[in-house]
Chains A and B, each alone.
Chain A
Amino acid sequence: MSTASTSSVATRALRPRDSADVAEIIATHPRALEPIGGGALRGVGHEVDADILALDALAGVVAYEPEELVMTALAGTPLATVERDLAAHAQRLAFEPPDFGALLDNAAPRTIGGVLAANLAGSRRVSAGAARDHFLGCEAVTGRGERFKAGGRVVKNVTGYDVPKVLAGSWGTLAVLTAVTVRVAPLPETERTLVVPSATADDALLVMSAALGSPHDVSAAAFDAERGCVLRMEGFAASVDAREAALARMLRGAWSAESGAAGAPQRLVSARGEIATLGADESRALWAAIGGAVALAPWPVVWRISVPPTDAPRVLAALAPERHLLDWGGGLIWAAFSSVESARVRGAVREGHATLFKAPREARAANAVFHPQPPALALATERLKHAFDPGGRLSPGRLG
């Protein structure tokens, strides 16, 4: 192992070369450790009083079998490397890991381990699942410094507890991932986005729910007051053509008898606008920006709020943010403010959770960043943490 200064991390960092190093450091290092990949998400959550355990030296794709739809990579492998290798075989990560570089003003590289540890998914979450849904197996080191493996390298596996699920979204507080196996998906031939004028969040909800509940395989649905509703379709070109036409027809109200679909036929497009279409390149750029909440980057405080989609208009009205985006068909609210507004935000969320995703350091220190849990769940959280990391050695306090 070595102690060195990494380019992306300003402070001194321990840089293990392999999983044995990771285990030895965790078992012997006198202070708590903050595991990071490239450090792209260090600005999220409470700051941790710990030395950095930088995993960027654990890099490289270990095995990639396109015809098996699986890839195994060391946890510190840059996401860019993973995505490049996949693209060379016309494949991708279906959960669309979002790039928060602009939002968080942090140019540090993302790693595959970091993406999974944070369980962050982009706009395709609503159709393809979250990072955790594609996380098949791993090798990791517990807070006790013990190396273990969990899950497997095949998609269909019910052998033992699904430990990768609980490591996804644990932000490095339970164990340090050293190698991960992910399920990958074919890259679609093409994609297109329908832009549907919608004046209000209520209108948008109707459009997004109708689109996502249609048989036209809409893979993402978002709303931005400045643009309206955007509905994404991906797949084989002939299929995308047909679905685009059918979805537009449906939204204009010419639908109902032909599809025998749910609900009364309804004119969902407000009278003052027309439906526009974005081609593949424009569509990709648009969804990358939505997934990364780039439009909210100028604001110092940004909340990421997960709610039942139909609850979104009510929550938005209660929040009255300075700028907002709805993604996941309304199930994800990005809300930007000049100040923290913790009581207002958390008070508005009846079901779901609100994360203070971006805020100045002092504001994060003074507020719960992750959604407070009811007592029984808080107890379970404490016990699970203790099961993996009884000495509180891995990013203590990060998830508060």
Chain B
Amino acid sequence: MQSAGAYSVQPLWCLIAAMICLPTPDAALVARRAEIVRALRGLVRADNVIDDDVRLAAYETDALTAYRQRPLAVALPESTAEVAAILRYAAREGVKVVPRGAGTSLSGGAIPAADAIVVGLGKFNRILDVDYANRCVVAQSGVTNLAISHAVAAEGFYYAPDPSSQIACTIGGNVAENSGGVHCLKYGLTTNNVLGVELVTPEGDVVRLGGKHLDSGGYDFLGLVVGSEGLLGIVTEVTVRILRRPETARALLIGFDAVESAGACVAAIIAAGITPAGMEMMDAPAIHAAEAFVGVGYPLDVAALLIVELDGPAVEVDLLVGRVATIARANGAKYERASASERERLAFWAGRKAAFPAVGRISPDYYCMDGTIPRRELPRVLGAIAEMSARFRLKVANVFHAGDGNLHPLILYDANVPGELDRAEAFGSEILKLCVDTGGVLTGEHGVGLEKRDLMTYQFEDADLEVQHRIKHAFDPDVRFNPGKVFPTLRRCAEQGREHVHAGRQRFPNLPRF
């Protein structure tokens, strides 16, 4: 831990707030900062290289704000050729690289390293081709998720994956994180909706993987790059498939006395051959917080609330709304309402979509988890979380993508009360381990990033991780891309760290999170 001349390297690599180690910076690289900045200014327009503290501050974290680290510099290339030139330079000089889209990662995927440059894709903001006959859109990687749907909305099309940050997150970031959304039970994750990418490898080679055609001729590098969290290269262009917007959509609001009944209802809907567009569950604390915040008329005397959305041709939607209602009654629903208008459908969703900020109103801090479990384990897992809640003396509100088993427990705590942060982190860690124990996984859609990196050894054996390391080395033999992310490092100081939100000081306060 050496100081490096005029540039102020932050003295603690282990960030106190959440106790996850960033890799120890390479002092020699840090010492070469001025030279690196000069070289970058020869590769892209001079004012597209940021090295002043004021402007660098905007890049020092992402949506996992408990962690901050100033990079050596930020480069904002304007073309694939510029990206390639930067990466060739970085490869030649051994410079580390952290790719960045909009910086909305909830797992710290875009947090810089002290000895790395950030390559921001903010200027890659053009939609290049809208092709209805082939049902696809080609966009530069910095285009936002929602902008793609907007570009094709007038013709009745949309891009299906809809992460909650879709007004801000970029399609390149979606590729890196394999982003989901509330509709992925029916429409799939990013990986199922991306047809191709242009990738600049860590060595600066430009390769096209996939395109407007389906499936690759050789190894499925596209499938590997999607969800690789910026460890394998920089995506500069993305081809996505677009779908015709369903003719109609309706939702049901269904309340139960017991979480078990709600879980049984979800299983019965699936067993009836119905694939809802979305199927969300909230427990009593989440229902109460949401209702107090947005007042959409949720029943307050139920233990679990389901929102089941059906979309498609009107005939089918009406038929299935009836079938789901029948299934709900058979599983002991005590409250049931089907939307009769688009306004009512959106009102059903408004409470669910406001669940995170609603919890933020009733607690100074909260802490969002993202494990996936087999659906049948829901009652057991919620029971265990309730037990942990008592043991750790911290409240918890649960929201759940019930259709695909993706659980978002929100742990309520107050960072100003000594010991609560530690307890919240221990609580969170125990929840994620429980997810793995039930046959699930550490992260369903937020990514491993920095946050869950040190829990990887709980889900994977050494041999499993070894295979992943070898894949990394095949792309990035010098291990310069997005250092410190996804894989546990030898220096491990703690296992915790999730999305911490303190007193509403979220980095993207206007982004909905669900």
- Residues of chain A touching chain B, judged by Cβ–Cβ distance below 8 Å, are 65-70, 90, 119, 121, 125-126, 129-130, 132-133, 142, 146-150, 152-163, 165-166, 168-170, 174, 185-189, 205, 209, 212-217, 235-236, 238-239, 241-243, 246, 259-263, 306-310, 328, 331-332, 351-353, 355, 370-371, 373-374, 376-377, 379-381, 383-384, 386-388, 399
Contact = CB atoms under 8 A, between A and B. Distances in A.
Nearest to A354: B217
5 contacts: A65-B376, A174-B219, A209-B133, A213-B133, A387-B471
Contacts of B131: 310
B155 to A, nearest CB: 4
Nearest to B315: A242
B362 interface: no
Instruction: Name which of B214, B439, B465 has the most chain A CB atoms within 10 A of its CB.
Output: B214
Contact of A215 (B213, B224, B245, B465): B245
Contacts of B447: 158
Interface string B141-155: 000000000000001
Interface string B202-213: 000111010111
Contacts, number: 272
A168 B273 contact: no
A67 B376 contact: yes
A155 B405 contact: yes
Contacts of A261: 156
B470 A387 contact: yes
Contacts of B211: 308, 351-352
A260 B156 CA distance: 8
Given A156-B444, A246-B313, A162 B226 contact: yes
B474 A383 contact: yes
B460 interface: yes
Given A126-B214, A154-B441, A67 B135 contact: no
Contacts of B133: 205, 209, 213, 309-310
B224 A165 contact: yes
B459 A159 contact: yes
Interface string B356-390: 00000000000000001111100000000000000
Instruction: Name which of B226, B401, B404, B467 has the most chain A CB atoms within 10 A of its CB.
Output: B467
Given A129-B188, A158-B178, A261-B156, A215 B467 contact: no
Contact of B463 (A148, A155, A205): A148
Nearest to A206: B133
B78 to A, nearest CB: 22
Given A156-B406, A239-B319, A216 B313 contact: yes
A353 B270 CA distance: 37
Contacts of B189: 156, 158
Contacts of A213: 132-133, 135, 157, 244
Nearest to B320: A236
B313 A161 contact: no
Contacts of A69: 270
Nearest to A167: B220
B212 A215 contact: no
A152 B212 CA distance: 29
* Interface band, chain B: 35 or more
Contacts of B401: 156
B29 interface: no
Interface string B451-463: 0100010011101
Contacts of A162: 178, 191, 223-224, 226-228
Contacts of B472: 161
Contact of A169 (B192, B219, B406): B219
Given A148-B463, A150-B468, A189-B273, 19 more contacts: A67-B375, A68-B270, A132-B215, A156-B444, A157-B372, A158-B177, A159-B459, A161-B468, A162-B227, A213-B135, A214-B244, A236-B320, A239-B316, A242-B315, A243-B313, A351-B211, A352-B211, A355-B217, A388-B467
B157 A262 contact: yes
Contacts of B201: 376, 380
B416 interface: no
A215 B474 contact: no
A83 to B, nearest CB: 17
A170 B224 CA distance: 12
B448 A158 contact: yes
A66 B213 contact: no
A185 B274 CA distance: 10
Contacts of B95: none
Contact of B467 (A126, A142, A310, A377): A142
Contacts of A148: 461, 463-464, 466-467
A162 to B, nearest CB: 5
Interface in B423-477: 439-448, 452, 456, 459-461, 463-468, 470-475
B404 A242 contact: no
Contacts of B191: 133, 162, 165
A370 B220 contact: no
Nearest to A305: B213
Given A158-B445, A242-B313, A353-B216, A376 B372 contact: no
Given A155-B404, A162-B224, A380-B207, A119 B440 contact: no
A186 B466 contact: no
